[in-house]
Structure 1
């Protein structure tokens, strides 16, 4: 009976949220433009860098949330990060809001700020994971909203106060649980019933591979996509030459720990000048994935300074 209920839940999940993309289609990713979508601007909170964007589509409008930096930092602290917001009707031409959507207010967020958002909608709740950085330690945090305008901070995800980053939550509950892939060296999996108390599986579900593009580290990219083939997790990685490239992994819907498939080569690599030169050179770091029309749009941070986009044609 339990297996039957799990199967029914899985089928309903695919029917409601499934994206019509095949795993192998990701090898056909193409840059949308040779120019960034967004660049630093002004003299204030987004004057130094804008990068690592997440996105979600609501009523045919793309809502992008991105990390910004100002010039307030000294030493190893690069500047205070905030989360900005921009909207677009086509997924490429964005209008920015004048003020940050989320600012650092808590001791675990200051002075470094709020970094690297990832957003997902589960039922009627928008859930954003982000990194709170106090200048010395990174802590994976969660904020929730019902309207994408007012956010409630739930605080750090893990009570043991250890270094943690990069949380990508599956966009549907499985057997009544939220599932989240996280980590910035290997990728682990955690589950929770209330977004506040998380249990972490003891073994990573994805690790670096020797002599591959992801030999040094792997960490989650955008919130996963539910497809007919499984849970599609686009991830970011680096090799020992410190070049950051994205890959992809496919996990079973009925068991999010079960790795089904993984890309043998990277989906993209830094090629353009603004992907190679910036605060951190040679970086493509995907954190946003949305479907607009017949295309999957992937939003990425480039060289920790700019925002770019790539597209994949969908099978219908």
Structure 2
């Protein structure tokens, strides 16, 4: 097995093959093998790339009122490429209430020809309305999009439908990213009906690079996704709309990985952007939340903080874990990642695009802003450095 960089433990100097800065670390740190993606570098002096806007107005179809629909916070983006343009779908909250999850969320659209500088549409493109999904999406709205595209150019977005009772995964499709057809909860027709009354979020459909484009792939003849925040689970589909969860031998939801006491993902393992099928396996980037209880947390990181991890699954058996990183490849480091409505700090990864021979990773910062990090395979950099022990 080859390795891009190797870390040593217990009071030794951490040395990267790429010449990373040396630092002290008194706890075993990970070996980073060649199946990982990154490191991702934050471009200088550009982040955050999307921030709240108090000037854009939208007539809410539910209340009939003109609203500043992205006044409060803009965060947790998905991304996809159409032609020569990269698009970001981002979650935007109005200012109708105070507190996480108490305002209404809608999805805004922004476009870029370099992946860094964006032009935003003045109105949201996906939002709660007086339609077939009202019971699932009102009054909380539509949240946290993960978007991908089929080979024939159909865009598919998985998002959280939030009625302030039960969060559910919903799906919508589009040909132009502006007009969307809502198809409703993805598990509505599944053989596991309990899911419709159980909280579930965060769908990462499997994609692959084909002809220099990141497109939705099939595994063993079916579409495949990873999903969930309390352990990573799976689901399959024949049509991208109706999904069946993967069950264990007891007929219950199967978990492929779970939280780990003492690690950066000790509280949550929440799926990130679309997974990527590579020659090494299926690579899932996910969001790990550190426990709020010190005795269960990785004490090198702030309690409650969100950092980003990677796990590799077998490409022929997507339920089988091959390897998993023990430490995050990204963590809150910049001021805008550590200050916002989520005060413990967040890099919440949701959008991943292969664009102009580089990988662009879009993420939410402290539930308040959107930022980008870039991995250039021809000029690789290191993962975020680990903090010293506390």
TM-score, normalized by the shorter chain, greater than 0.5? yes
Give me the CA root mean square deviation: 1.8
Q: Which residue of 2 aligns with 1:17?
A: none
SS state at 1:116 partner: strand
Flag structure 2 segments of 5+ consecutive residues without an equivalent.
1-32, 56-67, 207-215, 248-253, 292-302, 380-390
Q: Which residue of 2 aligns with 1:93?
A: 117
| Higher fraction of helix | 1
Where does 1:44-83 land on structure 2 (aligned, <5 Å)? Answer: 44-73=68-97, 77-83=101-107
SS state at 1:275 partner: helix
Deviation of residue 292 (structure 1)?
2.3
Deviation of residue 226 (structure 1)?
2.1
Flag structure 1 segments of 5+ consecutive residues without an equivalent.
1-20
Deviation of residue 260 (structure 1)?
1.5
CA distance in 1, matches of 2:42, 2:101: 31
CA distance in 1, matches of 2:144, 2:281: 25
CA distance in 1, matches of 2:369, 2:157: 21
SS state at 1:107 partner: helix
Q: Which residue of 1 aligns with 2:26?
A: none
Q: Which residue of 2 aligns with 1:84?
A: 108
Matched, 1:109 2:101: no
Pick from 239, 257, 262 the counterpart of residue 290 of structure 2.
239
CA distance in 2, matches of 1:111, 1:182: 24
Matched, 1:133 2:169: no
Q: Which residue of 1 aligns with 2:349?
A: 286
Determine if contact 1:236/1:245 at 8 Å carries over to the other structure.
Answer: yes
Determine if contact 2:36/2:283 at 8 Å carries over to the other structure.
Answer: no
Matched, 1:302 2:388: no
Determine if contact 1:71/1:78 at 8 Å carries over to the other structure.
Answer: no
Q: 206-215 vs 240-249, which deviates more?
A: 206-215
CA distance in 2, matches of 1:238, 1:77: 18
Deviation of residue 312 (structure 1)?
1.5
SS state at 1:31 partner: coil
Deviation of residue 121 (structure 1)?
1.2
Q: Which residue of 2 aligns with 1:152?
A: 181
SS state at 1:163 partner: coil
Deviations 1:79-107 (A, max 9, x none): 11000000000000000001111011222
CA distance in 2, matches of 1:168, 1:104: 22
**Cα distance change of structure 1 residues 25 and 155 upon mapping to structure 2, 3 Å threshold:** closer
Q: Which residue of 1 aligns with 2:43?
A: 32
CA distance in 2, matches of 1:93, 1:75: 30
How many pairs were matched up?
A: 295
Deviation of residue 77 (structure 1)?
4.2
Q: Which residue of 2 aligns with 1:227?
A: 278
Determine if contact 1:33/1:309 at 8 Å carries over to the other structure.
Answer: no
SS state at 1:30 partner: coil
**Cα distance change of structure 1 residues 215 and 95 upon mapping to structure 2, 3 Å threshold:** same
Q: Which residue of 2 aligns with 1:252?
A: 314
Matched, 1:266 2:290: no
Determine if contact 1:129/1:141 at 8 Å carries over to the other structure.
Answer: yes
Q: Which residue of 2 aligns with 1:312?
A: 375
Determine if contact 2:187/2:244 at 8 Å carries over to the other structure.
Answer: no
Matched, 1:121 2:184: no
Determine if contact 1:122/1:173 at 8 Å carries over to the other structure.
Answer: no
SS state at 2:337 partner: helix
**Cα distance change of structure 1 residues 64 and 76 upon mapping to structure 2, 3 Å threshold:** closer
Determine if contact 2:231/2:257 at 8 Å carries over to the other structure.
Answer: yes
Deviations 1:12-63 (A, max 9, x none): xxxxxxxxx953452x222223530111011511110110111011212101
Deviations 1:253-312 (A, max 9, x none): 222112122112101111222111111121110001112234211110000000111111
Deviations 1:92-129 (A, max 9, x none): 00000011110112221011000000011123221100
TM-score by length of 1: 0.89
CA distance in 2, matches of 1:172, 1:196: 15
**Cα distance change of structure 1 residues 77 and 29 upon mapping to structure 2, 3 Å threshold:** closer
